């Protein structure tokens, strides 16, 4: 199959590369010339484990190409994926669809007859209808199809998620769209018996938001239970295990922490709320989830202040981990940002370390001193705050860390360390959902 992917970001690049790995001929197109230039030279613009190698391998055999020229990308393509960003609209919270609509307007005059345009970006219900109308304004109805195929990959494990998904969701309004997408997914996923859920386009669009809102709610649930654990002397990790081993509940997404962040959950929960408001429907649980998560992110700074006896003015705080989760360089809506900014407002001096996120973080944060080495980051610090549980951070030698610090205070917002071990070494510890010694 000849495939074009519009938008070469986290989703477009991973999807395009994986389609090529399945043997298709793929052209990835993006407006960002620097990104395309780099990719043409084999430089992958994002940190995603395994992606460099897969891009290199598929580019080398000519199955994967990159261009800024949309007409070139669309020539002969039977399937065109739209994978551009749908960020939150500033001040509104609903999804900004201008990139999607722009892509639709640009591709409309260039596609071949019988092409299937597939929206992979996360878009509110009804967006497919609008894209259909945009294309119909320049093409004859019935000569093309518009389908929905939301993406569920997680950054950090994106390739595995794409190649071995739990399910694929396809939203189609005609036989052409169904046939092309079934052909694309069914053969490579047959061996694993991966379910392919075929629905109407509007249901498919909503599935993505429902799934993300549910996961955000699950995280928020365990976070609130963690607060209760702290008050009643219980341990949230054991609580989560005891709950999660019930198959109806499941253990994943029950790790209490500083609140969810990232490029999807905050924006998708907000966008779902806006859709529900537009249609006059109450989705109160999602509303409460959004409110509770925002409040939680702010409260995390107070946890640091409390651990330092109520005053952090002029104190040096070493932050370990900045990205919204491990194994990605993505800083979009990372909980580290409001936390650090609040600590700075209270007068703290911030040192920070992250294995790959510091370049992106330095574009967002100001007055932060960045360190490649975690131990240097903690040198003369009054407290260490763990925000992202990278493997390399979990492996830190706490005894060595303590030696370099001014005072041994550990605020572990990911429960990355064994509290008892840290205390034995001499740290005062404030963790999530367990009794504190800080
Ligand atoms: P991104 O910001 O990393 O990439 C978007 C790319 O689209 C950018 O490179 C941009 O230059 C390009 N672009 C914008 N308009 C264009 C146009 N008209 N023509 C060509 N290129 C254009 O975004 P992302 O994180 O890959 O997310 C893309 C979509 O996938 C979003 O809707 C997001 O919600 C959804 N999604 C993201 C993830 C994730 O983990 N990042 C997971 C599932 C779904």
Q: Indicate the pairing of strand 196-199 with strand 168-171.
A: parallel
If you average pLDDT over every residue of the chain, what do you get? 97
- What amino acid positions are annotated as catalytic residues? 264
pLDDT tens per residue across span 29-51: 999 999 999 999 999 999 999 99
Counting ligand 1 atoms within 8 A of each CB, the residue from 263, 265, 327 with the most, and so the one to mutate, is 263
pTM of the model: 0.96
> DSSP secondary structure string, 231-261?
HHT--HHHHHHHHHTSTTT-STT----S---
Instruction: Look at ligand 1, atom 1, and give the residue with the nearest C-alpha.
Output: 9
pLDDT at 201: 98
pLDDT at 82: 99
* For residues 311-318, average pLDDT: 97
Distance from residue 99's CA to the centre of ligand 1 (Å):
9
* For residues 121-139, average pLDDT: 98
Distance from residue 88's CA to the centre of ligand 1 (Å):
12
Counting ligand 1 atoms within 8 A of each CB, the residue from 17, 73, 83 with the most, and so the one to mutate, is 83
312 φ/ψ angles, rounded to the nearest 5 degrees? -120, 10
Tokens standing for residue 317: 């705080």
pLDDT at 91: 81
Q: CA separation (Å) from 258 to 201, 411, 412?
A: 35, 11, 10
* Residue 438 reports pLDDT greater than 70: no
CB 118 within 8 A of CB 135: no
34 φ/ψ angles, rounded to the nearest 5 degrees? -65, -40
Domains of the chain: 2-198 (3.40.50.720), 209-290 (1.10.1040.10), 297-431 (3.40.50.720)
- pLDDT grade for 93, boundaries at 50, 70 and 90: confident
Ligand 1 first shell, C-beta below 6 A: 6-12, 29-32, 35, 83-86, 99, 102-103, 106, 121-122, 151, 153, 155, 263-264
* Complex ipTM tops 0.90: yes
pLDDT at 92: 83
């Amino acid at each position: 199959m000849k495939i074009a992917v519009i938008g070469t970001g986290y989703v477009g690049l991973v999807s395009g590369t994986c389609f090529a790995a399945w043997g298709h001929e793929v052209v990835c197109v993006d407006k960002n010339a620097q990104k395309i230039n780099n990719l043409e030279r084999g430089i992958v613009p994002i940190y995603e484990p395994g992606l460099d190698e897969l891009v290199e391998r598929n580019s080398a055999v000519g199955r994967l190409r990159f261009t800024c020229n949309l007409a070139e990308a669309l020539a002969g393509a039977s399937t065109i994926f739209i994978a551009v960003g749908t960020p939150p609209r500033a001040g509104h919270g609903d999804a900004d669809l201008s990139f999607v609509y722009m892509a639709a307007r640009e591709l409309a005059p260039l596609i071949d007859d019988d092409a299937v345009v597939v929206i992979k970006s996360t878009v509110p219900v009804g967006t497919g209808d609008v894209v259909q109308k945009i294309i119909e304004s320049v093409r004859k109805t019935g000569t093309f199809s518009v389908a929905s195929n939301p993406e569920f990959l997680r950054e950090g494990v994106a390739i595995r998620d794409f190649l071995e998904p739990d399910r694929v969701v396809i939203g189609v309004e005609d036989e052409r769209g169904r046939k092309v997408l079934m052909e694309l997914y069914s053969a490579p996923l047959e061996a694993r018996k991966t379910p392919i859920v075929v629905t109407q386009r509007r249901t498919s669009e909503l599935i993505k938001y429902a799934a993300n809102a549910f996961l955000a709610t699950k995280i928020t649930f365990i976070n609130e239970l963690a607060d209760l654990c702290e008050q009643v002397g219980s341990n949230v990790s054991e609580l989560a295990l005891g709950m999660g081993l019930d198959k109806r509940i499941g253990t994943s997404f029950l790790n209490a922490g500083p609140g969810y962040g990232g490029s999807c959950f905050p924006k998708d929960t907000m966008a779902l709320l806006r859709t529900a408001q537009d249609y006059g429907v109450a989705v109160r649980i999602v509303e409460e989830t959004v409110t509770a998560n925002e409040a939680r992110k702010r409260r995390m700074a107070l946890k640091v202040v409390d651990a330092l006896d109520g005053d952090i003015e002029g104190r040096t705080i070493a932050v370990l981990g900045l990205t919204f989760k491990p194994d990605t360089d993505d800083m979009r809506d990372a909980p580290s940002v409001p936390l650090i900014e609040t600590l700075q407002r209270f007068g703290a001096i911030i040192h920070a370390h992250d294995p790959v996120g510091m370049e992106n973080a330095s574009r967002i944060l100001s007055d932060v001193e960045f360190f490649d080495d975690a131990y240097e980051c903690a040198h003369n610090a009054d407290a260490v705050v763990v925000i992202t549980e990278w493997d390399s951070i979990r492996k830190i030698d706490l005894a060595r860390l303590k030696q370099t610090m001014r005072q041994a205070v550990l605020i572990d917002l990911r429960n990355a360390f064994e509290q008892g071990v840290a205390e034995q070494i001499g740290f005062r510890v404030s963790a999530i959902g367990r009794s504190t010694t800080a």
